[in-house]
Amino acid sequence: MLFQPLQVGSLTLPNRVLMTTVKLGYATPTGDVTERHIAFYVRRAQGGVGL
């Protein structure tokens, strides 16, 4: 069941795996996104997290 699609309103998720919010500490002191931040989320998306 975990790896089956899930319909949420008009959105279809490929699976029921999700990632909660996280405090990474990768942003700049002013809160700007860094390359390390982007790489973190790219790896999660490539890994197949549905949401």
pLDDT in tens, 31-46: 999 999 999 999 998 9
pLDDT (mean) for 3-26 = 94
Rounded Cα gap, residues 24 and 9, in angstroms? 30
Task: Give the length of the chain.
Answer: 51
| 31-to-4, 15, 19, 23, 45 alpha-carbon distances in Å | 36, 31, 21, 12, 22
- pLDDT, residue 51, reads 87
Task: Note the pTM of the prediction, 2 decimals.
Answer: 0.70
